[in-house]
Amino acid sequence: MSAAEFKKKYAPTALPNQDVAKKASIRLPKIPTPNKNEATYGRILSTEFPGCSIMYEAVTLRLDGGNYTPDWIVMDGPCIVLMVEVKGAHRFASAGRSHYAFKDAIAKYPSIRFRFAQSEKSGGWRISEANV
């Protein structure tokens, strides 16, 4: 059986207004980008820690109930100085899961300093720190 005969016999049949040949596509992993609140707090961190490198979602911690990826990590050379979780003023239901994972990470990694920053509708930030 030739290739032409094989295609003719086993090719999918198309509906009248449908194109059979679809282009192959490759799904590449998305590069994480901060939302508006996270980007704003990232600028605050860059002024607070001028000599340190600040990275967005660069590390994932393994926890008993799953994984936790903090929004921002502040590093001074090879040492982690701070891990930050940023939330907006409006709390969604998914914020409960991330807050639980945040508290679990604080308990499991006592040598790392953590910060929870939540924007307020007035424009300020409500900040709580752990393992200081």
The more confident residue out of 106 and 95 is 106
Closest Cα partner for 85 from 120, 48, 56? Answer: 56
Tell me if 6 is assigned to some domain.
no
Longest dimension (CA), the chain: 74
Tell me if 20 is assigned to some domain.
no
Whole-angstrom Cα distance, residue 52 to residue 110? 21
Tell me if 90 is assigned to some domain.
yes
Asked whether 56 and 41 are in contact (CB, 8 A), the reply is no
CATH of the domain at 39: 3.40.1350
Question: Which pLDDT score, from 0 to 100, does residue 9 have?
Answer: 76
Question: Which pLDDT score, from 0 to 100, does residue 16 have?
Answer: 59
Percent of the chain at pLDDT > 90 equals 48
Question: Which pLDDT score, from 0 to 100, does residue 39 have?
Answer: 94
Tell me how many domains the chain contains.
Answer: 1
Tell me if 3 is assigned to some domain.
no
Tell me if 16 is assigned to some domain.
no
∠ CA(124), CA(127), CA(131), 5° rounding?
165
Tell me if 65 is assigned to some domain.
yes
Tell me if 103 is assigned to some domain.
yes
Tell me if 60 is assigned to some domain.
yes
**What is the tens place of the pLDDT at every residue in 17-57?**
655 556 677 888 888 899 999 999 999 999 999 999 999 99
> What value does the mean pLDDT take over residues 78-98?
81
The more confident residue out of 9 and 51 is 51
Contacts with 60 (C-beta within 8 Å, 6 or more apart), sequence order: 67, 68, 69
